[in-house]
Structure 1
Amino acid sequence: MAARRTPRAWLAGLARAERHYLALAVIAGLAVGLLTIAQMATLAWLVTSMLIEGDDPSSLVAGFAILVVMIVLRALAQWGQESAGLTASLRLRARARRELLDHLERLGPVGLADHHTASLANRVVDQVEALDGHVARFLPQMCLAVVIPLVILVVVAWLDWLAALFLLLAAPMIPLFMALVGMGAEKLNREQFDTVSRLSRHFIDRVRGITTLQLFGAGARATRDVYAAADDYRKRSMRTLRLAFLSSAVLEFFAAVAIAVVAIYVGFGLLGYIRFGPAEELTLFSGLLVLLLAPEFFQPLRTLSQHYHDRAAALGAAEGMVTLLDVPPPRGEQAPSLCRTDALFELDAVTVSYSERGRVLGPLDLTIRPGEILGVSGPSGVGKSTLLQLLAGFVAPSSGECRTAADLEVAWMDQRPLLIHGSLADNLRLAAPEADEAALRQALQRAGLGELLATLPEGLATPLGEGGVGLSGGQAHRLALARVFLSPAPLVLLDEPTASLDDDSEARVLEAFSGLVEQGRTLVIASHRAAPLALATRRLSLVADREGERRQAEEVAND
């Protein structure tokens, strides 16, 4: 079993892929620091020239021009630093989101059954966006917070080693408090992201069930529940912000005290009240330059402390994403072998087991041949849906061998078909993105929705709500069937396709199934109802043994 990844290791792996852009951000940041030192030295020289040397400002035009050029170059370097950091962040977030989406695809509908769609959306959208500050600002600033203060410390030590000593003694206070604050900030951010996920699930569940809540007169109570969940999120957000502002205030206090100590030393040294060490050698140029560089010495550390909360937010978000990425996919990583005959599927002593439920299917021997209609029957819980999930590739066999035809495509129609918020055309194009309007109309006609389409003023542009709001149950099933007609897949898997339909709707859907057979498709229908199974050319009856632990299959001819 592979070791579980940590959020830090996962983020570090993503950041390594963007090291070139991060290096550019660091180089641009170093340029900003060096230009700042040169700018302060030029400013101190200009002030000394005018106040001590008595030079006329008109004779210092070259110095003022150099100062303006440095300001412009510094602005360009800052733009380069932010651009490189933002590019690295965009690329890293795209890579993280792609990794999450690929993993969700590997999990499939079976692996995602225990995950709420609101939590998944929160991780793919909000938690991925929370990585922005960590990459764009914190990671480059980690290097700059070490290098730039060291360069400034060397310059200050060259001017006055005692002032440099004051800065050196005060510098560790900021990283110390950053570490202390970070211990609590990471936990708070992790709890905050968990709260957002719960709030999202809570809100979406109430919206989806709003009709039922109104029918039972529970709308006011549901509103109070949503308000309570939102208020809990508000309190947790304020705790995180309170910690951020408090830590910033403490860090600013220590930086201000250190700068004040240096200012007092420079002032009293220039007045001649301090005669210790290099104080007697202080000049207006050296003293003013030391005083100007003191805030710049702490600025990289203060900036790092500000972005330290971006790091805590990123680690809190990464915790949830890594937890999702560590969920093993139910389908196997290894592709199934090819059939030895012209069959579409061959199962040899195949079983499917789950750790919490034990064996749910098999041992099963089954061959599915082109052009046939296989009806699968049996009591609830015997493994009919599991068999279809196995054929669709959503789960992997626990034992036995599963063989499939080369490049086999599968169409799937569930008893609760997925319909998205969008138009009729949008829902149809889930199966065939490149289908033109004529193909869409033909598919609806074959599925028995031609009359309905003719009565819709907006035609294919008619909007639907999530889950098919605006259509009856039978119409939703026929819309899903129209997608099957659009799909070129030779194998069609139908799981309880008429479970919630009335007799008239069921008859129309079954008639459409006959149209699939005329296309040369192979159908596998799992159902409790007799009418869908009556279409089958071959029947597979799944039964449980007396102990109810292992499943076995009996094939019977269809009369």
Structure 2
Amino acid sequence: MTPNSRSALVPRSWLAVHAASQRGWLSLAAIAGVAVGALTIAQMTLLAWIVSRLLVSGDSLAALSWAFFALIGVLIARALCHWGQEVAGQEASLRIRQSIRGELLDHLAAMGPVRAGSRHTGGLASQLVEQVEALDGYFARFLPQLRLSVAIPLLVLVVVFWLDWLAALFLLLAAPLIPLFMALVGMGAERLNREQFAAVSRLSGHFLDRVRGIATLQLFHRTREASVEVHEAADRYRRLSMRTLRVAFLSSAVLEFFASVAIAVVAIYVGFGLLGYIDFGPAEELTLFSGLLVLLLAPEFFQPLRTLAQHYHDRAAALGAADGMLALLGEPLRTAVGPNEQPLPADRLVALTDVALAHPGRGRVLGPLSVAVAAGETLVVSGPSGAGKSALLQLLAGFVTPDEGERRTQAGLNIAWMDQRPVLIHGSLADNLRLAAPEASDTDLQAALECAGLAELVAALPQGIDTRLGERGAGLSGGQAQRLALARVFLSSADLVLLDEPTASLDEETEARVIESLRRLVEEGRTLVISTHHPALMAMASRRLVIEAGRFSHELTEGRGYE
């Protein structure tokens, strides 16, 4: 399913498409539910027959022992069918949720780290976890129950009609009230659930922002104001959740009222019929068996509808969650437009031809321009801030797709990326290094740290490479984080290394160590593309491109030269 086709779907249709993919499990859940309903009718029939034989015919308990054993067998079979219904519904729900979560992750991967990074991680986490999990009740319970709410009442109605057509008429007249009220309540519940999911996504992002910036807030003595803001946001979410629960409880109370009134009407009819106060229609033919069975089946006639009403809020929650997920899936993916791809010369690693790139709200930020990176060269891109240096590196890395032109690379090209804010995970130093080479040995890690100038620092730590880092590299200075990222580059087998302002915000001593590490990469024969203003890094260049307003203004060839 393409992003354009997804954007054309409404949440209900999108959920139906995914439900169709697990039609087998959902049908099995419905069949098991119908079996539960049929066994319930058998159970009530046996109970009414046993009571009738005991009170009217005067049979002994011993004479009815087979009926009691049959009743026990029906109860066991009913429990097994109910278990099968739950298992089948949960299996369908699990598979659909896995599929939807995979669809969201695939779409985020297709968007690339730049466009996906523009969305708040807290909101994305909420969509991938909470909103996907909110679909569970809809697929596991609501959809199977939707079929059962038609099949089982019809089955009960047939049996009651056979016993007493007037009692069946009472049930038939009362039945439409419950679905009608569910539809009216569902309109408001769906809107409330949509607002609730939007609120929890905002709250997740709001709280995450404050946690990440706690050091800055403490520095400027703004922690109290931040706490008040988080409290107010949480209180808004609480009030919205209580509104949703209020609608749920109110609707359940009203539905129970309608069902109770209908059952009471049937009970009054049966009671007066058995007492002989009603002498028209089939009332004169009522017996203890038929009257008791009608009374026992009346609640079972409404039970599937009442259960559906309980799960109707699962539907509202699913529609609210699907609305947010479709907004993400509906974001169009860029498709490169350009000439037919031609083979790249063997001495070139990556080439951009007449590429242009635009960002929402900013217009065109780069191009049209063309550039090719040769194997073994050190290409430095310089220019004023906002000229498009980072956008150029992102295009070379393949993080974004150009709006115009084409990007070509050598087959099997390995690329390493490092910017001024390297990504570090919560784990040990070794865990962070092995992101680049999962199978690397401790010896390989030590060699990479030595190349990056971190060996002495790590050796001085009590736990060495097993030292734990906090979230986002807490425990390391900015320069140490940069050198740890460089160690990952040494550890990788990347043919092309892209560095975006690798010495930004570093002190002189740390800058010198980072530059020395980059020189080692050059000595290894790696191909480097560096975006920088730093004179020492510019001096390393075999070729230098100056970019202004998204286009190359001129090219300088230095050192080893580039033709």
Which category describes the TM-score, using the shorter chain as reference length?
over 0.9
Aligned to 2:408: 403
1:489 matched to 2:494: yes
- Is this contact kept in 1: 2:436–2:492, CA < 8 A? yes
Aligned to 2:548: 543
Taking the aligned partners of 1:32 and 1:341, their CA distance within structure 2 comes to: 70
Three-state SS of the structure 2 residue aligned to 1:416 is coil
Aligned to 1:429: 434
- Is this contact kept in 2: 1:107–1:331, CA < 8 A? no
Aligned to 1:547: none
- Is this contact kept in 1: 2:522–2:528, CA < 8 A? yes
1:28 matched to 2:32: yes
1:498 matched to 2:503: yes
What one-letter code is carried by the residue in structure 1 that aligns with 2:487? A
Aligned to 1:128: 132
- Is this contact kept in 2: 1:25–1:82, CA < 8 A? yes
Aligned to 2:373: 368
Matches within 5 A, 1:395-474: 395-474=400-479
Aligned to 2:82: 78
CA shift in 2, pair 1:443/1:85, >3 Å: same
Three-state SS of the structure 2 residue aligned to 1:390 is helix
What one-letter code is carried by the residue in structure 2 that aligns with 1:458? Q
What one-letter code is carried by the residue in structure 2 that aligns with 1:276? F
Aligned to 1:285: 289
- Is this contact kept in 1: 2:335–2:403, CA < 8 A? no
Aligned to 2:51: 47
| Deviation, structure 1 residue 398 | 2.1
CA deviations 1:106-128 (Å, max 9, x no partner) are 11221123311100101001111
1:516 matched to 2:544: no
Taking the aligned partners of 2:23 and 2:436, their CA distance within structure 1 comes to: 39
| Deviation, structure 1 residue 522 | 0.9
Aligned to 1:59: 63
Three-state SS of the structure 1 residue aligned to 2:117 is coil
Matches within 5 A, 1:277-426: 277-330=281-334, 332=336, 337=341, 339-342=343-346, 343-426=348-431
Aligned to 1:166: 170
Number of residue pairs matched by the alignment: 554
| Deviation, structure 1 residue 66 | 0.4
Three-state SS of the structure 2 residue aligned to 1:542 is strand
- Is this contact kept in 2: 1:364–1:553, CA < 8 A? no
CA shift in 2, pair 1:169/1:404, >3 Å: same
| Deviation, structure 1 residue 330 | 4.5
Aligned to 1:556: 556
Taking the aligned partners of 1:415 and 1:143, their CA distance within structure 2 comes to: 57
Among 477, 480, 484, the alignment partner of 1:475 is 480
Three-state SS of the structure 2 residue aligned to 1:362 is strand
CA shift in 2, pair 1:138/1:34, >3 Å: same
CA shift in 2, pair 1:333/1:273, >3 Å: farther
Among 117, 122, 136, the alignment partner of 2:121 is 117
- Is this contact kept in 2: 1:123–1:321, CA < 8 A? yes
CA shift in 2, pair 1:34/1:186, >3 Å: same
What one-letter code is carried by the residue in structure 2 that aligns with 1:368? V
CA shift in 2, pair 1:153/1:70, >3 Å: same
Aligned to 1:229: 233
Taking the aligned partners of 1:355 and 1:164, their CA distance within structure 2 comes to: 63
CA shift in 2, pair 1:384/1:85, >3 Å: same
Among 151, 161, 164, the alignment partner of 1:157 is 161
Taking the aligned partners of 2:63 and 2:294, their CA distance within structure 1 comes to: 25
| Deviation, structure 1 residue 520 | 2.7
Taking the aligned partners of 2:344 and 2:237, their CA distance within structure 1 comes to: 58
Aligned to 1:191: 195
Aligned to 1:103: 107
Three-state SS of the structure 2 residue aligned to 1:344 is strand
Using the TM superposition, name which of 134-143 and 420-429 deviates more.
420-429
Aligned to 2:212: 208
1:272 matched to 2:276: yes
- Is this contact kept in 1: 2:334–2:403, CA < 8 A? no
- Is this contact kept in 1: 2:120–2:205, CA < 8 A? yes
- RMSD over aligned Cα, in angstroms? 1.7
Taking the aligned partners of 1:534 and 1:227, their CA distance within structure 2 comes to: 53
| Deviation, structure 1 residue 5 | 2.7
CA deviations 1:379-421 (Å, max 9, x no partner) are 1111111111101111122222322111222111111111122
- Is this contact kept in 2: 1:456–1:462, CA < 8 A? yes
Listed as ranges, the gaps of 5+ residues in structure 1 are 545-549
| Deviation, structure 1 residue 267 | 0.6
| Deviation, structure 1 residue 99 | 0.9
Taking the aligned partners of 2:274 and 2:340, their CA distance within structure 1 comes to: 83
Aligned to 1:220: 224
For normalisation by structure 2, the TM-score amounts to 0.95
Identity of aligned residues (%): 65
Listed as ranges, the gaps of 5+ residues in structure 2 are none
- Is this contact kept in 2: 1:106–1:331, CA < 8 A? no
| Deviation, structure 1 residue 333 | 10
Three-state SS of the structure 1 residue aligned to 2:518 is helix
Three-state SS of the structure 1 residue aligned to 2:57 is coil
- Is this contact kept in 2: 1:202–1:226, CA < 8 A? yes
Taking the aligned partners of 2:340 and 2:547, their CA distance within structure 1 comes to: 23
CA deviations 1:508-548 (Å, max 9, x no partner) are 1111112222333211001122222221111111123xxxx
| Deviation, structure 1 residue 355 | 4.8
Three-state SS of the structure 2 residue aligned to 1:47 is helix
| Deviation, structure 1 residue 102 | 1.1
Taking the aligned partners of 1:382 and 1:470, their CA distance within structure 2 comes to: 34
CA shift in 2, pair 1:516/1:395, >3 Å: same
Taking the aligned partners of 1:336 and 1:206, their CA distance within structure 2 comes to: 48
| Deviation, structure 1 residue 481 | 1.1
1:37 matched to 2:41: yes
